[in-house]
Amino acid sequence: MNQSAPRKIQTELSEEELAQRVAILKRFRELLVEQRNRFQQYLEVLDKQRDTIERGDTEALLSHVELEEKIVGEIFAIQKVIDPLEVMYRSCYPDREEEIPPLKEALEHLKQEAIQRSEQNRELLSRRMEELRQEIKALRANPFAKRKSLFGDSDSASLIDIRG
């Protein structure tokens, strides 16, 4: 009787430990999937942002930038939770990593693609801003834009009473 009690406690601990490990694995996997979804959203926003830059729609560009900032903030928040969970996962499953590496690999691929598209958008926006600067310079150099109206200084009436 004395010997069976320690075995039962040891079995319960291992069952509890097993349940904890399974919970860690599930949560880690959920967060990686959520992070992957956020990166996919981010890529969609970057695509729409590129189209908006090409069209020159500043209002839409502003909303895309705000949405981009929100998604990037969410990505960083999720990453803050993923990092410690990954450490716990590796300590629980030092030899067994079948499911997680493909997810992490997909995440890394999405991250690199997001970096590349973001850089392309930044370059496109820089070129567009330079085009606008050149247009403004051309307008300022236009001699007709600086001239006042011939009627600007006249003392003639500007309103006419038509009622009589």
Structure tokens at 141: 């150099």
* 24 contacts: CB under 8 Å, gap ≥ 6: 85, 88, 89, 92
> Between 25 and 94, whose confidence is greater?
25
Question: What number is the average pLDDT over the span 82-105?
Answer: 80
Q: What is the pLDDT of residues 104-159, one digit of tens each?
A: 888 999 999 999 999 999 999 999 889 889 988 888 887 776 666 666 666 665 66
Rounded distance between C-alpha atoms, residue 140 and residue 53, angstroms: 24
What pLDDT, on the 0 to 100 scale, is given for residue 116? 94
What pLDDT, on the 0 to 100 scale, is given for residue 46? 93
> Between 135 and 7, whose confidence is greater?
135
Kindly tell me if the per-residue pLDDT of 4 is higher than 60. no
Rounded distance between C-alpha atoms, residue 108 and residue 45, angstroms: 18
Q: Is there a contact between 49 and 116 (Cβ–Cβ < 8 Å)?
A: no
DSSP string, 83-148: HHHHHHHHHH-SS--SSHHHHHHHHHHHHHHHHHHHHHHHHHHHHHHHHHHHHHHHHHH-HHHHSP
Q: What is the pLDDT of residues 33-90, one digit of tens each?
A: 999 999 999 999 999 999 999 998 888 888 888 999 999 999 999 999 988 988 888 8
Q: Which residue has the tokens 């928040």?
A: 77
pTM here is 0.69
Structure tokens at 128: 């567009």
Rounded distance between C-alpha atoms, residue 87 and residue 104, angstroms: 14
Q: Is there a contact between 28 and 86 (Cβ–Cβ < 8 Å)?
A: yes
> Rounded to 5 degrees, what angle do the CA atoms 116, 97, 92 make?
115
Question: Residue 32 — very low, low, confident or very high, per pLDDT cuts 50/70/90?
Answer: very high
